[in-house]
Amino acid sequence: MNILIFTASTGGGHKRAAAALEAKIHSLSSDCEVNVVDALKQVGKLYDKTVCGGYHFMATKIPQMYGVSYKITDKKSVIYKAVMDSNKMVAKRLLTTINTHKPDVIIACHPFVSSMLSKLKEKGYLKSEKIISLITDYDSHRTYIGKNVDAFVLAEPQMAKKLIKTYDVDPQKIHPLGIPIFDEFTSTDFDKEEICKREGLDPNKQTVLLMAGSFGVTSVLDFYKELALESENLQFIVITGNNKKLYKHLEELIDEIGTKDSTKLLYFVDNVYDYMHISDVIVTKPGGLTVTESLACHLPLAIYSAFPGQELDNAVFLTKQNAALLLDKKRGAEEIIELLEDKPRLESMRQTCKRLSIPNSAENIFKLAKKLAENN
């Protein structure tokens, strides 16, 4: 079998999901060929820059406008039609890649790609190829939906109601298999004391993991300072990702306030799962993949901020389920300390995370792909 996974660079989540899926398929089948391609780059540099750059600019600089746009395009509006029409106009640019790899199944990790593939199938450019739309957030959106998509993979089961009632999707096409993540996040075979010893941390102290790379520099500095000074009994893991400026500022702040012994400051890391497994709470923005990874590690979330759109949808879902709390900007540090001191509440949230996690997602998506291919 030949599988083509289309991803995009609108945030890191789509690529992480594709990479996890690719790794799992390779581990399960030596006979299956898997190719991961950035679809928007194949469509063209201008289109890719417009979509990815526009997304990043609106989400970070004018989030309220992004939220309005997100809501409008989730309805059968003029703007929704314009977005879909523009995607359909460039859809044929994916054919070179498709014809090169000759896939049996195409998995789309981005909504625009799903709509493009659906249109190509409608026009007869795709014949036997099966299309899977992988929704990488905890609420659906109309741009993912195409009548010629063969299967929709959902992050969690409750999303099916909206697909059926709002988008009129055939229930037989709906598969709540979860978002694919790397096996290390779902593993229970880890030694907390060994990880803490290796990382220079105290296994007997409560640990706050702060994923700071996507926050504003000033806001995260103020937040960390308040939290670190409020409690001498906590230890912190602060990961800045690729944000060199933030890392430098945090390094200076840690020296200034004297919290070096209780804080492990990290730049880019490729073993986030280790830090999630040993932490008691994660402070983060609620991107779909980060949420899924945290749930897999049974790690309650403290959501520092969520821009209107898919992040806010994710936050609403998590807070309703009691897997997360949405922090108040004025007393967020105090709220985290209160949570950590309330052991029954913290354990309840941890159990909720465990309940919401969907193990073996990547493997089950691969099984779905095989089933679809066999039905050709």
Q: Matching CATH topology for 2-178+359-374 and 184-356?
A: yes
Distance CA 84, CA 142 (A): 10
pLDDT at 218: 62
Q: Is pLDDT of 217 > 60?
A: no
Q: Where are the domains of the chain?
A: 2-178+359-374, 184-356
pLDDT at 188: 84
Kindly report which listed range (22-36, 47-61, 305-319) carries the lowest average pLDDT score.
Answer: 47-61
Tens digit of each residue's pLDDT (9 = 90 or more) over 220-231:
888 899 999 988
pLDDT at 186: 93
Q: Which residue has the higher pLDDT, 217 or 181?
A: 181
pLDDT at 137: 95
The predicted model scores a pTM of 0.94
Tell which phi-psi region holds residue 200, choosing left (phi > 0), alpha (psi between -120 and 50) or beta.
left
Please, what is the average pLDDT of the chain? 92
Q: Is pLDDT of 23 > 70?
A: yes
Percent pLDDT > 70 in the chain is: 98
**pLDDT band at 55; cut points 50, 70, 90:** confident
Report yes or no: 114 and 136 within 8 Å, Cβ to Cβ.
Answer: no
CATH 3.40.50.1100 fits 2-178+359-374, yes or no: no
Average pLDDT over residues 47-53: 83
pLDDT at 11: 74
pLDDT at 10: 81
Distance CA 204, CA 215 (A): 29
Q: Which CATH superfamily is domain 184-356 in?
A: Glycogen Phosphorylase B; (3.40.50.2000)
pLDDT at 310: 92
Tens digit of each residue's pLDDT (9 = 90 or more) over 334-360:
999 999 999 999 999 999 999 999 999
Report yes or no: 364 and 177 within 8 Å, Cβ to Cβ.
Answer: yes
Locate all alpha helices (DSSP H) within 234-360, ordered by sequence: 244-257, 272-278, 288-296, 310-321, 332-341, 343-356
Tens digit of each residue's pLDDT (9 = 90 or more) over 251-295:
999 999 999 999 999 998 999 999 999 999 999 999 999 999 999
Q: How far is CA 311 from CA 175, 285, 303, 308, in A?
A: 22, 7, 10, 6
Average pLDDT over residues 298-316: 93
Q: Is pLDDT of 48 > 90?
A: no
